[in-house]
Amino acid sequence: MSLTLAPMTAEQLARLRGGLEQSYGEDLAEARGLSPEAARAEAASQIARLLPDGVATPGALLRVALVDGVEVGWIWTALPDADRPGTAWIHNIEVHSAHRGRGHARRMIQLAEAELAGLGVGQLGLNVFGRNTVAKRLYDGLGFRVTAQQMSKPLPPS
């Protein structure tokens, strides 16, 4: 039982995109204090901007993770660009709920790293929301280090 990554099809992206917009919207709502509606709209807008041509978007590497032919999750990385020269970026990684806790996310990242290294990329970055302690432990264990940190504090009403 070994995990492999395969290029995502347009049909797979269409199926997965709604869940991505929903979950990213929930994270944005909490992190930025947006209404659920505004956060979902912002998530959809960002995704549309980053994937204007869907799976055919230049520089976007969308991969589904398969174990024995069964889709267990997916990962979206982007090649370095003018905003991040020399650094590829993980935009999203998701293990479907029925397949969590089996090391699939770790293996997806390792396989993505190998693919990126083969393309001559020297660094991989990502963003993780503060409340996502499971992901932070995973990234720490894979050697990611904090390069910037945003912090906030609620203020009492005046």
Task: Please give the Cα distance from 142 to 40 (Å, whole number).
Answer: 30
Q: Is the pLDDT of residue 136 over 80?
A: yes
In a domain, 116, yes or no: yes
Q: Is the pLDDT of residue 150 over 90?
A: no
Residue 158 banded pLDDT, cuts 50, 70, 90 = confident
In a domain, 154, yes or no: no
> What is the count of structural domains for the chain?
1
Contact 114, 84 (CB under 8 A): no
In a domain, 127, yes or no: yes
User: What is the SS3 assignment for 34?
Assistant: coil
In a domain, 151, yes or no: no
Q: What is the CATH number of the domain that holds 88?
A: 3.40.630.30
In a domain, 157, yes or no: no
In a domain, 150, yes or no: no
Which residue segment(s) compose the domain that 97 sits in? Answer: 3-141
Task: Please give the Cα distance from 40 to 51 (Å, whole number).
Answer: 16
In a domain, 146, yes or no: no
In a domain, 152, yes or no: no
| pLDDT tens-place string over residues 69-122 | 999 999 999 999 998 999 999 999 999 999 999 999 999 999 999 999 999 999
